[in-house]
Every structure is written in C-alpha cells, then in structure tokens.
Amino acid sequence: MSNLKTAIEAALEAGKVILEIYHSGDFDIEIKGDNSPLTRADTASHNVIMSFLTKTDIPILSEEGRDIPYQERKAWKQLWIVDPIDGTKEFIKRNGEFTVNIALIENQKPILGVIFVPAKGELYFSKKEMGAFKVIVDLELFDVDALIHKASKIPFERDKKTFTIVASRSHMSPETEAYVQEMRDIHGEVHLISKGSSLKLCMVAEGEADYYPRFAPTMEWDTAAGQAICEHAGFEVIDWSTKENMLYNREELLNNWFLVK
C-alpha cells in the first residue's frame, strides 16, 4: 500500500501548487522543442512529485525529465511514469480539463495508477490487487488513508445506455472521425464527448463512456496511469498495431494508436 499512498500524496500536493498558479493567471509559458507548451506549473508540479517519488528508490520517467537513454532504462524492472500536468493546453485555456498522472510500471505493465483532476478535486486511483476507485478530495484538509477508505469502486452503473465515445478535445484526427462514423453504422445512435487530458481514460474506467479511440500521437506518460486505472476497472487499452495491451518503458516512448474499451 505504501507506494499507492506515496503516489496519491504526491499527486495531491502537486495539485495544490498547480492550482495556486492556475488561479494566479501567471503561467510563464514557454514552447518546447516538440512545439508543445510548458508552464511554470508543469515545472512546479514535477518538482513536488519528484520530492515524493525519489524516496521510493524506484527510477522515474517523467515528461519533464524524458531524456533518459534507453540503454539505461531497459534494465529497469520497475519504474514510475509521471506526467506533472497532462493537458497543458487545457490548463492554459483555463477549462479545468487537466490532470496529474502517476503510474507504477512493473515488467512493462502498469500495476498502479493515480490521476488527480485539480480543478474538480477528483481523484482516481487503482492497484492491481484492489481494483479502481474514485473519490472527491478537499485539498485544504485530507488524509490519504481516509480517502482510500471512503473511495467508491469504479465503474459506476450508467443510466444513459446510448453507445458513448469520448475523444480528444485538442487532437481530433480524421481517422478518429472516420472511426466514430463506423461505430454509428454499427450501433446507430452514438453519443460523442470531447475531453482533454487523461480524463478520457477516466471516463471509460468509471463507466461514463464505452470507447476511447486515440488515432493521434500520445506519449507513455499520457496514458500509463489511465491504463492502470482502466485495466483495474475491467477495461482494456489495446495497441492498434500489436492488438495487445499497451506496454511501457519501450525504446520508443511515442505510443502507437490505441483503443480503450
């Protein structure tokens, strides 16, 4: 349980510093080499998370510390995969659809996942032996043991039975649109929801959506925590190329297309 508690505390404390900057409006935006934005909230969150995870003596792969050679990484049987802010574009737009993602990987498979949604106080977490859970957090006053105890197991029952697909708010591709049309041909009515960040994986895990097709680029830190939570809630994250569950700590950190169902 200790690794789970450490990851939850890291995500929540990171959420605090993110919200301070979010509400200040002073983001100090830079553009990285891959043309994606970086704010001082990304850096502050990264530093908070590192302060917790380094105590575990498990190596860490983070979006803001990605340049670790594969020759070094490939020997890692366990590692943390972290995205200090997933959905930086949504953070900058101030629409609340950004998350903190922390996953523990063992032999290339996610065995623990934590996703925190700072703007909503929603915490998702999972561990292989326990299943997947959701709880609302008061960042002013929280006790990790109490949060774990009172969290509700997911997925929840859904009232609306219309086949529901969730897709990216900022990266909707023509291939995804074609897939949605294909599903309409099969299922008739399809409800399409647009969301930012790893919230799309969370929506499948909690039963709000049936499928999340991602036919556009993502990186390992975008999906690792969400895959853990989805798998531990009884769903699959299928690599579109291999037709198998997606694996992590690969030489190529860019994910293939995938389908969550």
What whole-number distance in Å separates Cα of residue 110 and Cα of residue 36?
26
DSSP E strands, 147-242: 152-154, 163-168, 190-195, 212-214, 237-239
Its pTM stands at: 0.96
CATH number at residue 110: 3.30.540.10
Domain co-membership, 131 together with 250:
no
pLDDT in tens, the chain (261 residues): 699 999 999 999 999 999 999 999 888 888 887 778 888 999 999 999 999 999 999 999 998 878 899 999 999 999 999 999 999 999 999 999 999 999 999 999 999 999 999 999 999 999 999 999 999 999 998 899 999 999 999 999 988 789 999 998 777 789 999 999 999 999 999 999 999 999 999 999 999 999 999 999 999 999 999 999 999 999 999 999 999 999 999 999 999 999 999
Number of domains the chain is built from: 2
Q: Which of 154, 186, 214 is the last residue of a domain?
A: 154
Domain co-membership, 80 together with 141:
yes
Range of the domain at 215: 163-260
Q: Which of 127, 154, 181 is the last residue of a domain?
A: 154
In angstroms and rounded to an integer, the radius of gyration of the C-alpha atoms of the chain is 17
CB-based contact 212:204 (threshold 8 Å):
yes
Q: Which of 102, 124, 154 is the last residue of a domain?
A: 154
